[in-house]
Amino acid sequence: MVVKMRIVKIFDTTLRDGEQSPGASMNVEEKLQVAKQLVRLGVDIIEAGFPIASEGDFEAVNRIANEVNGAVIAGLARAKEADIKRAWEAVKNAQHKRIHTFHSTSDIHLQYQFRISREEALKRSVEMVRYARSLVKDVEFSPMDATRTELSYLLEVIDAVIEAGALTVNIPDTVGYTTPEEFGKIIRAIKERINDRAVISVHCHNDLGLAVANSLSAVFNGAGQVECTINGIGERAGNCSLEEIAMALRTRKDFFNADTDINTREIIRSSRLITKITGIPVQPNKAIVGANAFAHESGIHQDGLLKEKTTYEIIRPESIGLQSTRLVLGKHSGRHAFKTRLKELGYDLSPEEAESAFMKFKHLADQKKEIYDEDLETLVSEEVAKIPEIYSLVDLSVLSGLKKKPKAIIKMRVKGKTVQKTATGDGPVDATYKAIASLTKAKSNLLKFEVKSITGGTDALGEVIVSLEEKDKTVRGHGADTDIIVAAAKAYINALNKLAVRKK
C-alpha cells in the first residue's frame, strides 16, 4: 500500500517572534520586504506581528495584509478583547487572514504571573476564541507554556477551544524545556484525543538547542503545522529554524513521510535578507545557511566528492539557491538584460526603482568586472528599502598609510545644503565617521560595525552594517560599495537617516 505524503504547513514567525530577538527590530518597509520574500519562499502563513504592541506593529501588519498576497496573514493577540479587536483591524483586508490568540496554561504561569485558577484560564481562553471566531473563521489558539502544563488539563483546554471554534491548536514549548521523545508523546496524546478536529501546530524555542529536533518529533507524531523563523532568530536562544526543518523534511521525507511546500531554492536569499535587515549574523557552522555548510575541508572528503558528490553531500548547494559562481551581467549589459534578470530573481520593481537600480548597476559595473546575483540583490534591496535622504554622500577621499594619521575629506548634502569637512582619526573609517558626525551634528553612539564581502575577489562588493543608538532608539544602517570606506560612510549615513526618520 502506498501511503500519501503529508504536507506540513509552515507558519513563519520571523516578523513576530523573530523580531523579539534582542536588537532585531525592523521598520515597516523592511517588514514588507521580508513578507514578500516569505511568499517567494512558499510559506503558508506569515505571522506579521503583534498589532496591539505598538502603532508601528499595527501599521506593519496592516500594510502586509493589504499589500502581500500568496500566504495567510496572521496577527497575534493575547486572549483579551482589545488585543483581538486590534489584530482583526490589522489583518481584515488580507485575502486570507488569521487571528492567533494565546493564554498561558501552566501552573507556574497561572500562579505566579496571572494569579488565576486553571478554571479561569480555561474560561478566558474559550471566550476569546469564540470572540475571535465572531470576526474571522481562521482562528489559532496557543496554550502558552504547554510543555510545562499538566497533560490532562492541557487536553481539557484543547478540547474546549476546538469546541469554541479554533481550527488550529498550537503547542508552544515557550521556554525551550522539552525533549524530542517527551514532546513526541505529548503530540501523540493530543492527536489521539482530537483526531482531525483541528490542525496541531508546534512552536519550539531553542534554549537547549532542541527546537528543530522537537519540531521534527512532533511532525513524526502527527503535527500538521510547524512555527519557525528564518535563521532560527527569536526570543532568547531563538525559534525552530525554518531552513533546517524544511531541509530535514525534504531530505528525509522517506523517514517522515512528510514534506512542506517550501521552495528551498529561496532559502539562501531569505537568510541573507534577514541577516542584512536585522544585523544578526549567521554562525559559519550553522546547518544549511552557514558559510561552511557546504565547505569540505578534509582531504578524504574532497577525494570522495570529486569521485561522486553523494559520498559526502546530502544536500546539493543549488537546492537552497546557492549559485554564487553564476556570472550574471557585466559592463555592457543593457537595461533589458538587467530588468529580465531582476524578474528572474523575483523582484518586481516600479519603473523608477528599476531605473535607479540600473544606474547603480552601471556605476558598479565600472568598478567591478563581473556582477553576480548577490551583487544585484544588494543593489535592489537598497532600492526597495529606500528611506528619505536627509543626509547623503556627495564625495569622499581618504588618505591613509603607515606613517601619517588617516585623513578624510568628505562632501555631503545635509538638509538640502552641500557641506564639506576634513577630519583625522585613528583609522580611515574613524576619520570618515568623525567628519560625518561633525557635518550632521550626530549625537548617536556606534554600537556595532561589521564588514563583509558579498562575493569573492579583491573587487568584491563590500557590505558594511552599523548599529547606532541615540536616546533608547537603535537603528541599523547598510552600505555597499567596492570601496569599503565608501561602504562604511554610506552605512553610517543610512543609519543617521533612519534615526532622523524615527525622531520625526
Binding site for Zn ion (CB under 5 A): 17
Helix (H) or strand (E) holding 55: helix 55-67
- Choose from ligand KIV, Zn ion, none: what does 463 bind? Cβ within 5-8 Å by kind: none
Minimum distance of ligand KIV from residue 46's CB (angstroms): 15
CA gap 58, 17 in Å, rounded:
15
Residue 135 near residue 81 (C-beta atoms within 8 A): no
CA gap 129, 162 in Å, rounded:
9
Minimum distance of Zn ion from residue 149's CB (angstroms): 15
- Choose from ligand KIV, Zn ion, none: what does 221 bind? Cβ within 5-8 Å by kind: none
Of 208 and 446, which has the nearer Cβ to ligand KIV?
208
* C-alpha closest to that of 20 among 203, 263, 289: 203
- Choose from ligand KIV, Zn ion, none: what does 229 bind? Cβ within 5-8 Å by kind: none
Helices and strands in the chain, H and E counts = 17, 18
Minimum distance of Zn ion from residue 235's CB (angstroms): 5
- Choose from ligand KIV, Zn ion, none: what does 11 bind? Cβ within 5-8 Å by kind: none
Contact residues for ligand KIV (CB under 6 A)? Answer: 17, 102, 142, 144, 170, 172, 174, 203, 205
Of 17 and 244, which has the nearer Cβ to ligand KIV?
17
Helix (H) or strand (E) holding 73: strand 72-78
- Choose from ligand KIV, Zn ion, none: what does 406 bind? Cβ within 5-8 Å by kind: none
* C-alpha closest to that of 132 among 168, 173, 100: 100
- Choose from Zn ion, ligand KIV, none: what does 144 bind? Cβ within 5-8 Å by kind: ligand KIV
Minimum distance of ligand KIV from residue 174's CB (angstroms): 3
3-state secondary structure of 189: helix
Which residues face 449 on adjacent strands? 466
Of 165 and 232, which has the nearer Cβ to Zn ion?
232
CA gap 61, 211 in Å, rounded:
26
Minimum distance of ligand KIV from residue 77's CB (angstroms): 10
Of 17 and 243, which has the nearer Cβ to Zn ion?
17
CA gap 17, 415 in Å, rounded:
37
- The full length of the chain comes to 504
Q: Return the C-alpha cell found at 332.
A: 555592457
CA-based end-to-end distance of the chain: 65
Residue 45's identity, in one-letter code, is I
Minimum distance of ligand KIV from residue 76's CB (angstroms): 6
Of 144 and 357, which has the nearer Cβ to ligand KIV?
144
Of 19 and 377, which has the nearer Cβ to ligand KIV?
19
Of 174 and 260, which has the nearer Cβ to ligand KIV?
174
Minimum distance of ligand KIV from residue 286's CB (angstroms): 21
Q: Kindly tell me the sign of the dihedral angle through the C-alpha atoms of 242, 244, 250, 253.
A: negative
- Choose from Zn ion, ligand KIV, none: what does 102 bind? Cβ within 5-8 Å by kind: ligand KIV
